[in-house]
Each structure stands twice: as C-alpha cells, then as structure tokens.
Copies of this chain bind each other. A is one copy, B any other.
Amino acid sequence: MESITIKDVARICGVGVSTVSRAINNHPDINPETKEMIMQVIKENHYVPNNSARNLKRSDARAIAILIKGISNPFFNSMIKVFEEEIQKKKYTLVLQHVDEWQDETEVALELEKEKRLRGIVFLGGFASHSEDQLKKIPVPFVLSTVSLLGEEYKNDYSFVSVNDVEESFRMTDYLIRQGHEKIAILCSSENDVSIGALRLAGYKKALESHRIPVEESRIRHMDPEVDTYSIKSGYKLTRELLDEGVDCTAIFALSDSMAIGAVRALIDAGKKVPEDISVAGFDGTEMAAYYNPAITTIRQPAEIMAKETIKLLFDSIKKKTKVQQLIFDGELVPGESVKKRK
C-alpha cells in the first residue's frame, strides 16, 4: 500500500501543506484546534512524515552526488529540482557540489566519493575530454547528464543523457536560414572547447554548408575561457564586439538563452530593434527566455525528462539492472518573438 503524502493530509484537512508541516513540527504559530485535527487525520491515515530531515536519519551512507559545472546557468536549476525530488523518493541523500570551470570534475568526484561514501554520481554540464584512465578510476556508477562526448571511443563505455547537440544546433541554424537569414553570427564557447560548445558550432557550420552558405570566421565569436561563461554578460560582451567591429549580420545565434538575452540587450542599448533590425536565437528553453521581451526563439531541451531519466539510469546501474546506456533526447524549436522572417 502506497502511504499517503503530506499533500493528501493537507487536502483531507482543507489546510495548506505548510500548516500540516507546522503541526508536525510543533510550531507555535498554529491554531491548537487546527493542529489537533491535523494530528488526528495523520493518525487515522497512518501518515509517515517523509521529509529530507527524516530521510537523512536513515540514509547516512546512501548519498548521491550531483557535480555541477558552473552555477550561473539557469537551465540547470530546473534539473536540480527534479534530481532532488527523485533522489528523495528513493530515500537517498543528495550532495550538491559545484565545480569551477577550470577544475577537473573527475578528480573532485574521486575525493568526494571517498569522503561521503557515495552510491552514485551525476555529472551535470562540463566534462570536456577526460582521459579514460581518469574515468575508470571512479568506483561507483555515474551518469553524464547534458554532457556530450566527442570521442567515438567513449560512446559505449559510459552512461549519458543529452540532446544531439550537433543536430539541435543544425535545426536552429537551418531555421534561421529558412527565415531568410544568410549572415548569421554565432556566440559560442571558447576556441579550445571540445564539449557541447564545439558540437553546437559544428551543427551551425553543417547547416550553412548544407545551404551552400560560406562560413565567415568573423561571424564566429568565441568567449574567453578565463572570464566568460554561458552567461548574460558574455552574450552582451560578444555582441558589443560584433557591433564595434561592424560585422555584417542579420541574425545572431547564441549558444545559451542567457547569452541570447545579453545579445538582445546589447542590441537595444546600441539603438537597434529586435527582431526588426536583427534577429536573435538562443538555446536551452529556459523560463527566463520565454518571459523575456521579446520572447527568445530557442531550442528547448526537455530538462525535466532528462533529469528523471538521468536518475533512473543511475539507479538502474546501482541496482545492477543495466550496464551503461546512452539516451539522446530530441530538442524542440520553440519560436518566440526574437526572430523575423526576411523577405
């Protein structure tokens, strides 16, 4: 029998979840009669409080770590929320660890595993090209989430969940071309990047080539790996540089929604209208992009499904149900208001 949840208790009592929580936790700010009613319902329905505090008690050695490369990407936030819920459902503890851009996440993982006796690890973002040696040292199951691996040699050795970055980037570039844009600038990661940034740049080039449009190097704007991330600020800066150098383009494709927002704002500050004067497209499908003015045309990655599948894959590995598995999800082109068809 599935036990009832705090939400069920709240519904039965006709009160809010927070009120039930106050009753359970003996808070002073609750009407004594309401409290009595709630405790009665809890008793009758055999409700077992199931919050992380109580989970922690019995899950000392059952922790899953999420290693996040770069905190500023709002795309990750929607995934983390799902990770927390799914891991809690399994009665495991979640350890969140941020990893700096220049740090080696495999090394951080190895140390963390020793200290916290982890049962599994999720690598979120990052993860360029780690040596096989380094990856093989990790003694617990792990899944690479929203990480694309470049080398074919990795393909069958590790579990990962991602979109096809080349294809999705191709999809957006192809869309822009079909909207009449040929001079498309791209705001991408650093020149040495070998991870998702490189794959998305490859998709951009592939789309141009498929339409026989020459690739113009001045339209490819790389971030500085020392100071830039996939952030609003980087998008602003790279677009400012495009404008200052007078690079000829009718559309800008930014490899994250945050960068797209920075690009739009830089254009507005330069007295240009989006999309009337210049079109802007993003990548990720964040809430922020949908609520921006203009709403950003973007590639939506199915963040929640990807997060759920990441945890499923990880627990399948922990329970030895499966060995490694690779899940590639389709992105979706979400038209906003930031791209205009050219006649």
A30-51 with Cβ < 8 A to chain B: 51
Chain B residues closer than 8 Å to A225, beta-carbon distance: 16-18
Given A60-B115, A291-B236, A27–B129 Cβ distance below 8 Å?
yes
Q: State the interface size on chain A (CB cutoff 8 A).
A: 70
Q: In this assembly, does A276 line the interface, its C-beta being within 8 Å of a C-beta of chain B? A: no
State how many angstroms separate the Cβ of A191 from the closest Cβ of chain B: 10
Q: Is the CB of A287 within 8 A of B60?
A: no
**Interface 9-residue window, one of A77-85, A173-181, A214-222:** A77-85
The CB with the most chain B CB atoms within 10 A, among A18, A51, A60, is that of: A18
The contact of A53 among B52, B98, B110, by CB within 8 Å, is: B110
Q: Is the CB of A226 within 8 A of B104?
A: no
Chain B residues closer than 8 Å to A108, beta-carbon distance: 51-53, 56
Residues in A lying within 8 Å of B, measured CB to CB: 6, 10, 16-21, 25-29, 51-54, 56-57, 60, 71-72, 74, 77, 80-81, 84, 93-104, 107-108, 110-112, 114-115, 128-131, 134, 190, 192, 194, 225-226, 232-233, 236, 261-262, 264-265, 268, 287-288, 291-294
